[in-house]
Amino acid sequence: MSKPPSVINDQAHWRAAEHLADVLRTCLAAYRIEADISMRILFDVIKRWDKDIRRVSEVQDGNVSAVKYIAYQTFWLRKLKPVTSAFRVADIAAAEEKSKLSEESAMRWLANQEVIDINEQLAVAVAVKHLLWYAKSGDFPAPYAAGQFDANTQVGAPVPFDVDALRRYLQYFLKYSATKPTGAQRKTTRDNLVYNLRYRTFGPHHLTHVFEQALMAVQSGQNIVP
């Protein structure tokens, strides 16, 4: 049975919300975007995430893939949308230049540059960071066939999960775009994921499936990146 909500849990949740805010701010800085982050909504994200991961953990006796924890966090970020008024620093600078001619048209132009899918974009970025963190921390073991391990020769022993292979796979997978018959490029896998997160029914189970595919691709040991 889970423990009832308590003051100390609220404090812990607030602390976790601050950690998540720090991760989001780091992302925004890396991508040169200015935005507002609602701590109250992030607190809500953490509480909903916590409720889900405790429930999943209880149902599965604590034996839960980290991928599910990542998927639930991604889901609540895209669902509750804690980030607003996101603009690229370059666009803000461009608008300042334009405002020398006409402030009204510059502001109208800037309004149209707002990164309206910032929450979905950040949710994917935070998920990728988590995937790499768990991989580096040894939480994703490379599988080996049961019964094939020979203790004397060590043949069949599991090898450490290949973190670099996961990075290479994510580089390839998220940037991949098919070529249309006309020769033009389709949207990338990341564009597609962001679109579906924003406009389609896309729950934690869908995200779990997407992330598990990446891990399984690496665990298969096949060189799937051309």
Tokens 């950690």, residue located: 19
How far lies 9's CA from each of 15, 42, 80, in Å? 10, 15, 20
User: Residue 134 CB, nearest distance to another protein (Å)?
Assistant: 6
Q: Does 7 bind another protein (CB under 8 A)?
A: yes
- Nearer Cβ to another protein, position 3 or 200? 3
What residues are paired with 139 via a beta bridge? none
Tokens 């998220």, residue located: 174
Are 87 and 156 spatial neighbours (Cβ–Cβ below 8 Å)?
Answer: no
Q: Does 187 bind another protein (CB under 8 A)?
A: no
Q: Show the tokens assigned to 207.
A: 């995200």
Q: Does 171 bind another protein (CB under 8 A)?
A: yes
Residue selected from 85, 133, 205, 224 as contacting another protein according to rule CB under 8 A:
133
Q: Does 83 bind another protein (CB under 8 A)?
A: no
Tokens 């666009």, residue located: 91
Between CA 141 and CA 219 the distance in angstroms is 8
User: Residue 67 CB, nearest distance to another protein (Å)?
Assistant: 11
183: which residues sit within 8 A by CB, 6+ positions away? Answer: none
Are 122 and 74 spatial neighbours (Cβ–Cβ below 8 Å)?
Answer: no
Sole window of 27-35, 104-112, 153-161, 203-211 interacting with another protein (rule: CB under 8 A): 27-35
User: Residue 133 CB, nearest distance to another protein (Å)?
Assistant: 5
Given the rule CB under 8 A, which residues bind another protein?
Answer: 3, 7-16, 18-20, 22-23, 26, 30-31, 33, 39-40, 43, 50, 53-54, 57, 62-64, 66, 69, 73, 115, 118, 121-122, 124-126, 128-130, 132-134, 136-137, 139, 167, 170-171, 174-175, 190
